[in-house]
Structures are given as structure tokens and as C-alpha cells.
Amino acid sequence: MSVLNAKEPHHILKFKCKQCGHCCDSTYIQLAPFDIKNICDTLDISTQKFHEKYSMFNSSDNIPRCYLRNRPRCPFKENKLCTIYNNRPLRCRLFPLGRVYPEDLNESSFLILPEEKCIGFDTGKKIKISEFLEQQNVNSLDKLSEEWNHFLITLKDNPTIEKQEFKQSFKETFYGFENKDASLKEFMEELYQKWNIINQIYQIRV
């Protein structure tokens, strides 16, 4: 497994996706609220509908995390291709790279995933990481993702997140929002503001 520093966008990757579709059914795809909004907008469905059909949750570290329900098969894959390609989650855009956010909130870095069954490694042209990210249209979501992951890291210090009621509020705020017409940046800011208000009320009550 190779770890690359994200500050080295000149780093070369030798990779070309062969569109075999294997990674779509074998990778854990964690979804940020903006990923969910993008998919709901594309399919014109509510977040409630989205969760009924497409998501699953894991709260093993006390912070509810939302994942695409892509086992045994991603519901958005048809004939090995992605039917929501232009609005696919950030995790899908990054593959075969993955973002790592260090706990100390310092720089982020990339991790090359050793996906044994990926036939795209060591094929195709050599490409700079920066070019790969541009091709995958990652940059527009990258900043939002960094903020979101840093926010999740800071939550680990909040003892109230262990309480069931708090977890439920967290899920409703960040994963059960009402879909509105707003830029992704505005949308995320609104969610953080809402959470701050809930958090303050909760701190007063406990």
C-alpha cells in the first residue's frame, strides 16, 4: 500500500479504469451530506426515499456514518456503468485513490488502495494526480469533504454524541434534511448552523 502526500499533485499514477464495475460492488462508499443531496437532486427523490432504498448506517465510533448500500451490487450500476455518473459520490470519483484525514487536523493525504481485483492499475498512460483529480471532477467537492471530515473528527471530543438522542438529531440534521435549491456550499453551511443550534440547546439541557 502506498501513501502519497496530497501536497504532491505532481505524483504520477499509472492507471486507467477498464470499466469492469468490480469496485462499485466491493468498496465501502461513505456518503457525506452533499453526496446524498447530489443523488437526491439527480433522482428527484426525498432523503427519506433515498435512505429506504440506497443507504445503510454504521455508528461504531459513536458518530453515525452513512454508506451506499452497494452490496451485493450498487443499485446505480447498469451494464457495468454508473447511471448517476455526473453526480456520483466523491468516494467513487476518487477511486482508486482514497482521502485520509489525519486526526490532528493537519494536511490531508492520499492513499492508493491496493484493490487486488482492479484491473486498471499499471495500465494506460501515466498521469499526474492533479490531472486525475481534474478529470474526475473531484476538486469541486474536495474542500467540502475536508470540512466535513474535520467536523467529524472534532465531534469525537463531544461526549454527548454517545447519547442516543444526540445521535438521532445528528442523523436527522445531516442525513435527513429537506432538499432545497441551494449551492452545495450554502447547503452545507446551513446544516452546520442548524447543528450548532441543536448542540447549544442540548448542552443547556444536559
Residues that bind ligand SF4 (CB under 6 A): 17-24, 29, 70, 74, 76-77, 82, 84, 88-89, 92, 95-96, 118-120
| Least distance in angstroms from the C-beta of 169 to ligand SF4 | 28
Q: In what order do the strands lie in the sheet with 3-5?
A: 3-5, 109-112, 97-100
Q: What gap in Å lies between CA 156 and CA 166, rounded to an integer?
A: 13
| Least distance in angstroms from the C-beta of 116 to ligand SF4 | 10
Q: Among residues 51 and 194, whose Cβ is nearest to ligand SF4?
A: 51
CA nearest neighbour of 28 among 83, 2, 61, 67: 67
Q: Among residues 34 and 170, whose Cβ is nearest to ligand SF4?
A: 34
Q: Is the peptide bond before 89 cis (omega within 30 degrees of 0)?
A: no
Q: In what order do the strands lie in the sheet with 55-58?
A: 30-31, 65-68, 55-58
Assess contact for 142 and 107: CB atoms under 8 A: no
Q: Among residues 19 and 196, whose Cβ is nearest to ligand SF4?
A: 19
| Least distance in angstroms from the C-beta of 50 to ligand SF4 | 12
Q: Among residues 66 and 161, whose Cβ is nearest to ligand SF4?
A: 66
| Least distance in angstroms from the C-beta of 136 to ligand SF4 | 10
Q: Among residues 1 and 204, whose Cβ is nearest to ligand SF4?
A: 1
CA nearest neighbour of 12 among 147, 132, 119: 132
| Least distance in angstroms from the C-beta of 194 to ligand SF4 | 27
Question: How big, in percent rounded to 5, are the helix, strand and coil portions of the chain?
Answer: 45, 20, 35
